[in-house]
Amino acid sequence: MSGLVIEKKTNRSREESPLSKIILIILVIVFDVGAGWFIQNALSKGFTQLIVIVGIITIMLNLIFLLPKAYPFRWMAIGLSFLILFVIYPMIFTIYVAFTNYGDGHLLTKEQAIPLIEKATYLPEEGKSYSWTAYKSESGEYALWLVNADGETFIGKPGVEIVPANAGDPGISEADSSGIPASLDGYQRLNGLVAATDKELPNIKFGLEGIQTIQIRSPSEAAELEILYKYDEAIDAIIDQSNGDIYHNVNGTFTTQDGKTIKPGFRTVVGFKNFIDFTTSPALRGPLVRIMAWNFIFPTVSVLSTFALGLAIAILFNDKDFPFKKVIRSFLLIPYTIPGLISIIIWRGMMNSEFGVINRILGSTIGWAPRWTTEPIWAQIAILIVNLWLGYPYFMLVTSGALQSIPADIYEAAKIDGATGWQSFRRITLPLLLVAVGPLLIASYTFNF
């Protein structure tokens, strides 16, 4: 008897041709180059956390697509990448932000804030100022016609020494009625409005570095401006070039010893300072506690009230002998058919403190009406009332269907055992109902939170 020969079959679905392998490697290389470019740019701007996440995703995708043993994960690679980038990273970043000074005035990274600070300029006491007119060549280069306080005129170009010039000189057209030439040796005069709104002009230094440079200071003035602030990396401080003041880094804000600060600040880790401030500062703790309390009260009361009212109506109409229940039930579903935005506008008009129908009725019957829109407590009650109107039809429909699945024999047996209506509801209806409706209650709470 010949032995049984078992031949191992290769999984053809996992076999790859040389061409497909080459294409895959090329695609991985292209992705890696793109990821490297992104990481390099993010690094220059200080986005450390994002760099780590992109690096992890890049390494993961390389392993998945290049290692044969990781072949099954290829079908999950894109999903895993988006999971890390859009779910895990925001969670980690949110936790990180809790331990930083991230907020108004500290939205930028340090690498972004310092260049902005160093853009500030000032006019030294010995600095000269000029009125200016801008010119532009066909190649997009700029030039300035400068007039000082004594009426002397000059031409300024980027990277070229500023030299005296007069209208009518070679290459310069004659002056018009305002004393300004129309063209300068290939440069055409710009309209005043165009020049004043040009975004490039204020950033250009006209003249030769080390000798004399002029920058535009305002729509009517150009001056020998100098950099006001300079960052000293050795001492991690900003130095004011005009008076020598030193601004040290204090929790993400450059601050002098006498308390002067420079804006903008930057993000930095402050440890547990935010939590300490929250627990010790009444100015923070009071409002935040009230806000957090309302954030829990609103969904809790909304879900319980809409569920209770919807269930009560469903139980009421579950009685087969209830008259006109189909017609009445149709009317009770009206809030569910009207768009919520329209219902809210109608309720806002009805609850108007001065002209609303609700306040008019209450004022004429009991002589008092709440201030729905001006008093915080009544405003919150009004929100809960409107949300009850919008939400009860949903639970009325859901519980009506769930009640039909509860056998009537159970109630008959409970009645024979002497159970009251409340006992039947608490021990039979509600437990069986929550099996079906429980997940919907949780979803509704999440939606309202």
- The rounded mean pLDDT for the chain is 89
Question: What pLDDT score was predicted for residue 51?
Answer: 93
Total Cβ atoms within 10 A of residue 289? 11
pLDDT above 80 for 8: no
pLDDT tens figures, 201-249 = 988 999 988 788 899 988 889 998 888 999 999 999 999 998 999 999 9
Is residue 56 very low, low, confident or very high in pLDDT (cuts 50, 70, 90)?
Answer: very high
- Extents of the domains making up the chain: 17-98, 121-227, 290-448
* Of the options 3.20.20.80, 2.40.430.10, 3.40.50.300, 3.30.70.2740, the CATH number for the domain spanning 121-227: 2.40.430.10
Tokens encoding 122: 């000032």
CA torsion, ordered 430, 432, 433, 439, to nearest 10 deg: 120
Reduced to 3 states, what is the DSSP secondary structure of residue 347?
A: helix
pLDDT tens figures, 286-312 = 788 888 899 999 999 999 999 999 999
The answer to whether 306 touches 388, Cβ cutoff 8 Å, is yes
Residue in the block written with tokens 């008897």: 1
Question: What pLDDT score was predicted for residue 38?
Answer: 95
Q: Which fold has domain 290-448?
A: MetI-like fold (1.10.3720)
Question: What pLDDT score was predicted for residue 181?
Answer: 92
Question: What pLDDT score was predicted for residue 17?
Answer: 82
Cα 267 to Cα 265: distance, rounded to the nearest angstrom: 7
Is residue 15 very low, low, confident or very high in pLDDT (cuts 50, 70, 90)?
Answer: low
Pairing of strands 206-208, 212-218: antiparallel
pTM: 0.59
pLDDT tens figures, 325-362 = 888 888 888 888 888 889 889 999 999 888 889 989 98
Q: Name residue 348's amino acid.
A: R
Question: What pLDDT score was predicted for residue 13?
Answer: 46
% of the chain residues with pLDDT over 70: 96
Reduced to 3 states, what is the DSSP secondary structure of residue 100?
A: strand
Mean pLDDT on 399-424: 87
Q: Which DSSP state fits 367? A: S
Mean pLDDT on 30-49: 91
Mean pLDDT on 61-88: 92
Is residue 398 very low, low, confident or very high in pLDDT (cuts 50, 70, 90)?
Answer: very high
Tokens encoding 320: 């087969």
C-alpha R_g of the chain = 37
